Copies of this chain bind each other. A is one copy, B any other.
C-alpha cells in the first residue's frame, strides 16, 4: 500500500465511490498485518519509500512464498535476497513472473516496470571476481529501487592503472558503492578520486588473517579518504538500499 493507493482510496471516498466504513476497514490494519510468522510492514513504503525486503537466508520456501503473496496483493515490487539456487527454482515455478538473479542470489518481481526515481547514476565497483556476488546484490537492489546503475568489476588496488583508466565512468556517478574483501583498500582510493558519497562494502572474501571480512571492514572504517561510510560485511543489499536513498531527492 503506497502513496498512490492510499490517495486512490481517499479519492474514491471523496468522490463517493467508496464508503467511509469500507475505507476504514482497508486502513484498519494498515500499518502492519500479521502473517503467521512475520508481520509485514506495509507502512514502510510510505515511511521509507520502499516495500519490505525478504531476507531469505533463514527462511523456508514456504515462509518466503507466503510473504511474496502478501506483498503481491499490495501491488508492491518484490525483492528477496540470499535465495539459494534450490529455493529459487521452487519459487520461480510458483511465481512465473519472478526473475532469478543467479550471481546476486536474489529474486525480484516487478509488478509494473520500475520507474526511475534516482537523480543520477549509482556506480558499483568491485575489487575481485570473488566480490561479484555481493556487488550484484547491490546492483539488483539499486535497480529495483528505481536507479540507473553502472558497474566496474575487477579493479583491485594492486593493479591501480585498471581503476585509473576508468576515471570518466567514476567521475560521472552520483553515488558509488565499492565492494572489496581482503585488505579492503579500494574505497580509500576511490574516495580520494571523487567528491561524491562512497559506500564501502567489506566482503568475507579472503583467508587466514582476513577473519571472514574483519580485515576489510576495519580497513574501510579507518579509511583515510573522507566521504566514505561503511555497511556490514557482505551487506550488498544494505549498500544498494542506502545508495538509493542518497540518489533520491527528499
Q: Measuring CB to CB, which residues of chain A are less than 8 angstroms from any residue of chain B? A: 3, 6-7, 10-11, 13-14, 16, 20-21, 23-24, 27-33, 35-50, 53, 57-59, 63, 119-120, 127-130, 132, 153-162, 164-165, 167, 171, 174, 182-185, 188-189, 191-197, 199, 202, 204-235, 237-239, 241-242, 245-246, 249-250
Contact = CB atoms under 8 A, between A and B. Distances in A.
A205 B227 CA distance: 20
A182 B129 contact: no
B226 A37 contact: no
Nearest to A219: B183
A63 B7 CA distance: 34
Contact of A53 (B32, B40, B226): B226
Contact of A218 (B28, B214, B227): B214
Contacts of A45: 195
B183 A120 contact: no
A202 B219 CA distance: 12
Contacts of A3: 24
B31 A165 contact: yes
B164 A39 contact: yes
Stoichiometry, as copies per complex, reads 8
A167 B45 CA distance: 14
Given A162-B41, A229-B229, A224 B183 contact: yes
B183 A209 contact: no
Contacts of A219: 183-185, 215, 218-219
26 contacts: A7-B21, A10-B13, A13-B14, A14-B16, A32-B162, A32-B167, A38-B129, A38-B154, A39-B161, A41-B159, A47-B195, A48-B227, A158-B189, A183-B184, A183-B219, A184-B222, A196-B245, A196-B250, A207-B235, A209-B218, A209-B222, A215-B222, A216-B222, A221-B231, A227-B242, A246-B246
A209 B214 CA distance: 7
B242 A158 contact: no
A219 to B, nearest CB: 4
B10 A192 contact: no
